[in-house]
Amino acid sequence: MSDTKVSKTPDLSRRSLLKAGLAAGAVAGSAGAARAGGDPLITEIQDWNRYLGDGVDAAPYGLPSEFEADVVRRNVPWLTADAVASINFTPLHELDGIITPNGLCFERHHGGVAQIRPQDHRLMINGLVDTPLVFTMEDLKRFPRENHVYFLECAANGGMEWRGAQLNGCQFTHGMVHNVMYTGVKLKTLLEEAGVKTNGKWVLPEGADASHMTRSIPMEKALDDCLVAWKMNGEALRPEQGYPLRLVVPGWEGNMWVKWLRRLEVGDQPWHHREETSKYTDLLETGKARRFTWVMDPKSVITSPSPQMPITHGKGPMVISGLAWSGNGRITRVDVSLDGGRNWKTARIDGPSLSKSLHRFYLDIEWDGSDMLLQSRAMDEHGFYQPTKNELRISRGENSIYHNNGIQTWHVKADGSVENVEVA
Ligand code: MTE
Ligand code: CO
């Protein structure tokens, strides 16, 4: 059995490493020894070999295996006063590749989840346009449409970590991000249909939920790559993600991606509503605040090993896996350090490398069983890279919540457990 497993790996050096790993397990008296003696899971007939399983249609809408019950969104109860204006987090440590499954996309609502019958949904365009328009969902689906994979990151992702390591798990430190393929029509197409007047320089999307979320978006971005989307990963948006219609603002902070999108107003200046004044601005040490910090800067995190995903197999070959993304475009390089930033190795980016999308990286190492201080550092196609947490605090002070893209450190201990720490 172990030979079959080993022969799947391509090169001989790797093969001998794996054998060494198995031998080490046997010495420790663990699973390796059991395998050599004949594993009852192979030699004995199991229930699932003996009895027929469920037929087709047992679950008309398929669900994950019952053995994956831990792979769920989670919230941090003390963060918010109630669940209606709250947040939960994507279980990044359990996922691989770059696409977030729809049921695991983190949720951020300011007024709960609006339940809207698609037949009752309308999108209005008004303000500085030649012809104010109202679209039904059916109308929208008659315009030329496009598919794009984009990450959505809440500006507050990592906000609890500004002053030091807080939450023990990348689900909580980095899980306000998801990455799905959207189907929709370009915002540009709809604005052109209404005809933007020459003094129309800003767009105000508005949500139909109880929070009436609004944000000011400059016309240049609105006409560039924004989408009005009704599908995610091929199926209808989930209610939590704005069903039946949401705005997609690639690379920019999640707050601008208005869900349950019902209105687009064109104006000649920004509106300075709540979400772009008292919220989503960054208070500096000087007492002044940065505003309109729209772009999500390059960022990365090692998803495994991580506090919720300890090393359970002992020393030997292992895969360090993580995610990197940038609101500026593609990720061109991710470096990984095993010693708290003293030495760096370039990781392997695997799978599609799409602009403003999550990227998956791997570093295949031989773990000697000693402590590691794991870090990752992403660089994007424009040469922007992640600062250390100290560099970030030097330039932005300690009052900020939003836009923490500092380098994360995980302390991996000899027993394989992992803790969120900061190295100065
Ligand atoms: N749109 C409306 N209408 N209402 C909201 O509460 N929350 C915003 C944004 N759009 C919100 C909204 C915030 S702060 C974020 S981070 C994203 O939606 C979260 O999107 P998600 O729930 O799909 O993860
Ligand atoms: Co947000």
| Residues 27-55 pLDDT 10s | 333 444 455 678 999 999 999 999 999 99
For ligand 1, say whether the CB of 324 is within 6 Å of any of its atoms. Answer: no
Residue nearest to atom 9 of ligand 1 (CA): 255
**pLDDT of res. 81:** 87
55-61-67 Cα angle (round to 5):
75
**pLDDT of res. 374:** 98
State which of 204, 215, 257, 262 you would mutate to test the pocket of ligand 1, scoring each by most atoms of that ligand within 8 A of its C-beta: 257
Q: Is the pLDDT of residue 398 over 50?
A: yes
Provide the pLDDT confidence category of residue 22 given band limits of 50, 70 and 90: very low
> Measured between alpha carbons, how far is 398 from 7 in angstroms, rounded to an integer?
53
For ligand 1, say whether the CB of 296 is within 6 Å of any of its atoms. Answer: no
Asked whether 76 and 167 are in contact (CB, 8 A), the reply is yes
Please give the structure tokens belonging to residue 319: 């895969």
**pLDDT of res. 7:** 33
State which of 86, 90, 259, 279 you would mutate to test the pocket of ligand 1, scoring each by most atoms of that ligand within 8 A of its C-beta: 259
The DSSP result for 97-151, as a single string, is SSPPPGGGS--EESS------GGG-EEEEEESBSS-EEEEHHHHTTS--EEEEEE
**pLDDT of res. 21:** 36
* Stretch among 28-32, 300-304, 346-350, 409-413 having the lowest mean pLDDT: 28-32
Q: Is the pLDDT of residue 12 over 70?
A: no
300-302-306 Cα angle (round to 5):
145
* Average pLDDT estimate for 395-412: 95
Atom of ligand 1 nearest to the CA of 85: 6
| Residues 159-192 pLDDT 10s | 999 999 999 999 999 999 999 999 999 999 999 9
C-alpha distances in Å from residue 288, one per residue of 255, 276, 279, 282: 22, 14, 14, 8
| Residues 92-132 pLDDT 10s | 999 999 999 999 999 999 999 999 999 999 999 999 999 99
C-alpha distances in Å from residue 406, one per residue of 178, 206, 251, 388: 19, 32, 17, 5
Residue nearest to atom 24 of ligand 1 (CA): 107
Q: Is the pLDDT of residue 375 over 60?
A: yes
Mean of all residue pLDDT scores within the chain: 92
For ligand 1, say whether the CB of 154 is within 6 Å of any of its atoms. Answer: yes
Q: Is the pLDDT of residue 297 over 50?
A: yes
State which of 255, 262, 273 you would mutate to test the pocket of ligand 1, scoring each by most atoms of that ligand within 8 A of its C-beta: 255
**pLDDT of res. 37:** 72
For ligand 1, say whether the CB of 243 is within 6 Å of any of its atoms. Answer: no
For ligand 1, say whether the CB of 263 is within 6 Å of any of its atoms. Answer: no
Q: Is the pLDDT of residue 197 over 60?
A: yes
Residue nearest to atom 13 of ligand 1 (CA): 255
> Measured between alpha carbons, how far is 422 from 424 in angstroms, rounded to an integer?
6
Ligand minimally distant from the alpha carbon of residue 239: 1
Give the distance (Å) from ligand 1 centre to CA of residue 113. Answer: 10
Q: Is the pLDDT of residue 424 over 70?
A: no
Give the distance (Å) from ligand 2 centre to CA of residue 349. Answer: 27
Q: Please indicate whether residue 10 or residue 82 has the higher confidence score (pLDDT).
A: 82
